[in-house]
Structure 1
C-alpha cells in the first residue's frame, strides 16, 4: 500500500485554481493514465483515491470544479467527506449519508 504522504502528493500536487487550469490541462493532454474518472464528486474522489492507493496513474475530470455539483448539496459533507476519504475514514462518510 501507498503511504499517506505519497498519496497526498499524488492527489494534491497541483493547485486546482483558475490560474493553473491551462497548465494542468496541457499536462493532462501530454500524459498517459491507467484510469480516467469522469465526475469529480464524492464517488469519483473515492474511486480516484482507491486507484491511487493501488499505484495507478489517475486523472479526474469534471465539467465544473471538484464537488461543485450534486456532491456539494446532497450531504453537505463534500469537503469533509473528501478529507475523511483521504484518511481512510469511510465509515464516517457512510454514516453521514
Structure 2
C-alpha cells in the first residue's frame, strides 16, 4: 500500500519529460520536517526507494545529473499496479 503513494507521485506527468530528483519527491511524499534530523531521514527513505526502483529496472539515472527517469518497463508496471489497485478498491466498495 505504501508503494501506491510513491507510484502515484512518480507517475505525475511533470516528471515524464525531465525526470525527478530526491528533492522533487520528498515534499510530495512527506510533510515538512520539524527537525534537521527528520529531513535527513526523509532524504534517506527517498534515496533507498529510488535505488530499489533502479534495481528493479523501473527508473534509470540520467547521465551526469542527479535526476532519474521512468523507464518504459517502469511506466507499464507502475501504471498497471495502480489501475489494478484502483479497480480492486472500487469492487470492494461496491460489495460492501
TM-score, length of structure 1 as denominator length: 0.31
Larger Rg computed on CA atoms: 2
Structure whose residues are more often helix by fraction: 2
TM-score, length of structure 2 as denominator length: 0.31
Greater RCO, CA 8 A, separation 6+: 2
